[in-house]
Amino acid sequence: MARHTLLIDADDTLWENNIFFEKTIEHFVTQLEHLGYTREYIRHILNETEKRNIRQHGYGVRSFRRSLEETYMKLAGNAARRELMQEIARLAIELEATPPHIMDGVPETLAYLAKHHRLILLTKGEPAEQAAKVERSGLQPYFDAIEIVLEKDAGVYERMVEQFKIVKTHGWMVGNSPRSDINPALQTGLNAVFIPHTDTWHLEHAELESGTGKLLILTSFRDLREHF
Which residues are within 8 A (CB) of 33 and not within 5 positions of it... i.e. 6 or more apart?
39, 42
d(CA 204, CA 213): 21
Position 221: which residue type?
A: F
Task: Name the CATH architecture for the domain at 5-16+100-226.
Answer: 3-Layer(aba) Sandwich (3.40)
What local confidence, expressed as pLDDT, does residue 228 receive? 94
Residues in the chain, total: 228
What local confidence, expressed as pLDDT, does residue 202 receive? 65
What local confidence, expressed as pLDDT, does residue 201 receive? 62
What local confidence, expressed as pLDDT, does residue 207 receive? 75
In this chain, the answer to whether the domains covering 5-16+100-226 and 18-97 adopt an identical fold is no
Task: Name the CATH architecture for the domain at 18-97.
Answer: Orthogonal Bundle (1.10)
The 10 Å Cβ neighbour count of residue 138 is 11
Domain spans in the chain, listed from the N-terminal domain onward: 5-16+100-226, 18-97
For 201-227, the pLDDT digits (tens) are 666 566 777 777 899 999 999 999 999
Q: Which residues pair with 123 in a beta bridge?
A: 148
Q: Which helix (H) or strand (E) holds 149?
A: strand 145-149
CB distance 11 to 125 below 8 Å: yes
| pTM for this prediction | 0.89
Residues of the chain with pLDDT under 70: 1, 199-206
d(CA 155, CA 133): 25
What local confidence, expressed as pLDDT, does residue 2 receive? 73
What local confidence, expressed as pLDDT, does residue 152 receive? 93
